[in-house]
Structure 1
Amino acid sequence: MNLLIDEPPLQVLPSLAKELNSVDKAIILQQIHYWSQRSTNIHDGHKWVYNTVKSWHDQFSWLSEKTVQRYLKQLEDDSYLITSNFNKAKFDRTKWYRINYDKMTSREGLTVPTKGTDGPQPKGLTDLTYTRDYTETTTETTNNSQPPTPLKGGLSLADATKEIISYLNQQAGTSYRASSKATQRFVHARLKENYTVDDCKKVIDIKVANWKDDPKMRKYLRPQTLFSNKFEGYLNEPMPAKQPPKRAKGYLF
């Protein structure tokens, strides 16, 4: 392709932009279609795409996060998108999306030939060849895929996870496995939000200092708590001051 700037492009479909009265929403819907074609998350006979608002914003960086969130909500309200929640963790409210292809085919001027499980053939909304490729935050890609570029420090996602979990086990006296899919899901989610290995170690240090000697709290020194959506709050907590050793009653040292 003869591009002005050497970077992977996103596509806009004129008829779809006209239908939605928005170029931005047309691009967003096309990108969700792109991921739907590659998704292995199938529920109730439909392919679903799982992403946080921040992850969507990374793909549409010329828009603010609030604007991306508003457009997604508008597409949902207008029945172009169907949402649900298949997250295993109850506190995880990240939405799952699928395109309402019935809505698409019912609109005049939009031709979406369907074939197979919930979705058009690649030629339906567009030829997918030139759609920009970002990493979808699905349980499958989070567990098995590497990010498009190395993390800060040159570590791969897998190596960074091993380092973080090894550090947690060392500091907290635990024995979590970096190969566990449940553990990877929480750690990878934070690393893909551009938090660093050092950020993760800092949270471990803070919460170990707070919780390790507390019989009621030490059980929470686990990946699903430390690297949950409360991570940023933990990261900004001050490190507890070290307490001087207690003196035995009746003696002076």
Structure 2
Amino acid sequence: MNKEKLLPIRINRKVAKAVGLKESLFIIRIMELSKLNNENIKIHDGLIWVKRSLKEWHNDFYFMPIDTIRRILSKLREKNIIYAENLNNDKMNNTLWYSINVSELNFLITGDTGSSELNERLKKEKLQKK
């Protein structure tokens, strides 16, 4: 097991209702980890990023198979709820860094389209449906 202190698993009902229970666990964990002060946190492009390997995700959510973890993270990326990038200085290191798309998450929870980026995306989607 990783030397990192194990954080309790938390559930936020609003987030779970908006994105799904398992998906919400990952979002809440990213939020919790982003508050820690260690080498696995960085600010890039104005966002807080958390470095996390699949093994570390599996340590957090040991009751989920790694394939399920991959699917959940992929689904969150496809829905534009989280960002995942390789922000490592060593390009041989493929560990991804994760950040939350707060505008998209807020939209899914509240329906508020306060973000101009989100408004533009919604307008494009409406035009494509016509």
The TM-score, its normalising length taken from structure 1, stands at: 0.38
1:8 offset after TM fit, Å?
A: 6.1
CA 1:108–1:87 in 2, change beyond 3 Å: closer, same or farther? closer
Higher strand share: 2
| Inter-partner Cα distance in structure 2 for 1:66 and 1:15 | 26
Counterpart of 2:17, as a letter, is K
Note the 1:74-223 alignment, pairs <5 A. Answer: 74-109=75-110
Q: Secondary structure at the match of 2:55?
A: helix
Superposed CA deviations along residues 77-133 of structure 1, whole A, max 9, x for unmatched, are 11110111111222211111100001122224389xxxxxxxxxxxxxxxxxxxxxx
CA 1:33–1:108 in 2, change beyond 3 Å: closer, same or farther? closer
Counterpart of 2:55, as a letter, is K
Larger radius of gyration: 1
Q: Secondary structure at the match of 1:107?
A: helix
Q: Where does structure 1 lack aligned partners over 5 or more consecutive residues? A: 1-6, 112-253
1:70 offset after TM fit, Å?
A: 0.9
| Inter-partner Cα distance in structure 1 for 2:7 and 2:81 | 26
Aligned Cα RMSD in Å? 2.1
Q: Secondary structure at the match of 2:35?
A: helix
CA 1:8–1:72 in 2, change beyond 3 Å: closer, same or farther? closer
Q: Secondary structure at the match of 2:90?
A: coil
Superposed CA deviations along residues 143-194 of structure 1, whole A, max 9, x for unmatched, are xxxxxxxxxxxxxxxxxxxxxxxxxxxxxxxxxxxxxxxxxxxxxxxxxxxx
The TM-score, its normalising length taken from structure 2, stands at: 0.71
1:68 offset after TM fit, Å?
A: 0.7
Q: Where does structure 2 lack aligned partners over 5 or more consecutive residues? A: 1-5, 113-130
- Say whether the 8 Å CA contact 1:15–1:110 is kept in structure 2: no
Q: Which residue of 1 aligns with 2:70?
A: 69
What percentage of residue pairs aligned between the two structures are identical? 26
- Say whether the 8 Å CA contact 1:50–1:95 is kept in structure 2: yes
